[in-house]
Amino acid sequence: MSRASDRAYSGIRSMILSGELPAGSQIGEEALAERCGVSRTPVRDALRRLESELLVKRNEAQRSFVADWSLDDIADGFELRAMLEGHAARRAAERIDDETLQRLRRCNIEILAAIQTNPPDVTGFLDGNREFHAVILEAAKSPRLAAMLGALIEQPVVWRTAQQYGREALRRSHGEHEELLAAFARHDGDWAQSVMTSHIRRAFHAYADAHQGLAAIDAGSGS
């Protein structure tokens, strides 16, 4: 993680996620290299990675831009996530061993702890959540599935709006994880898949609602 290429990657990535680099804006390799304190070579490397994750898009003349995600794009991403993570949950349920199941349980306990503080520890929740899903993905034992979902999970918009989630939404998420654990314990692939699918779809609508609110606020402050 200390290599220049990685610093460039995480640096550019956080610039995009934080909105420091606005969506749609052109990003020159030279400028990024300077801001990250590395040369263009690792920046190019990082841009390729980000491009494969669809955080960066390139026009026909190979210029790089920050990808702008329409609500349709985001819905598209969530739809794929629902399908792929549902599939992962099914495979995981059919293959999971007791030790991994225990890891998941501990993970969800940590998530609960993060929720119950006042105010809720959203960062802690997100970390726990990410690990929870990562363990399931690992248990699914499908390297290709893992590679694909890897690119999908880290959607920029989720990060910027996660702070908007209320305690109620966080608690519901924890509850759905509990139901997943029950499905895993019984090795019931069908159950796990449907729970995971609705888990993701609900997350999308929670996002869409929050985003709707944000857009209204933006429009209001703009006028």
Of the listed pieces 40-48, 89-97, 161-169, 186-194, which binds DNA according to CB under 7 A? Answer: 40-48
Q: Which is nearer to a copy of itself, 73 or 131 (CB)?
A: 73
Task: List the single partner that 87 binds among a copy of itself, DNA, none, CB under 5 to 8 Å by kind.
Answer: a copy of itself
Cite the DSSP H helix spans in the chain: 4-18, 29-36, 40-52, 71-95, 98-116, 122-139, 143-153, 156-162, 167-185, 189-222
In this structure, are residues 36 and 47 in contact, taking their beta carbons and an 8 Å threshold?
Answer: no
In this structure, are residues 15 and 34 in contact, taking their beta carbons and an 8 Å threshold?
Answer: no
Q: CA nearest 155: which of 194, 204, 109?
A: 204
What tokens were used for 197?
Answer: 């699918």
Q: Which of 142, 173, 193, 197 binds a copy of itself (CB under 8 A)?
A: 142
* Residues 57-96 within binding reach of DNA (CB under 7 A): 59-64
User: Pattern 81-120, binding to a copy of itself, x per CB under 8 A?
Assistant: --xx--x---------------------------------
In this structure, are residues 161 and 210 in contact, taking their beta carbons and an 8 Å threshold?
Answer: yes
Q: What are phi and psi of 142, to 5 degrees?
A: -140, 100
User: Pattern 29-68, binding to a copy of itself, x per CB under 8 A?
Assistant: ---------------xx--xx--x-x--------------
| 10 is a site residue for DNA (CB under 7 A) | no
HEC string for 148-194? HHHHHHCCHHHHHHHCCCCHHHHHHHHHHHHHHHHHHHCCCHHHHHH
| 171 is a site residue for a copy of itself (CB under 8 A) | no
The residue to which tokens 């794009």 are assigned: 73
Total residue count of the chain as it appears in this document: 223
| 71 is a site residue for a copy of itself (CB under 8 A) | no
Q: Which of 19, 24, 28, 175 binds DNA (CB under 7 A)?
A: 28
| 38 is a site residue for DNA (CB under 7 A) | yes
| 16 is a site residue for DNA (CB under 7 A) | no
Q: Which is nearer to DNA, 10 or 117 (CB)?
A: 10
| Residue 177 Cβ vs DNA, minimum distance, rounded to whole Å | 36
Residues making contact with DNA (CB under 7 A): 3-6, 26-30, 38-42, 44-45, 59-64
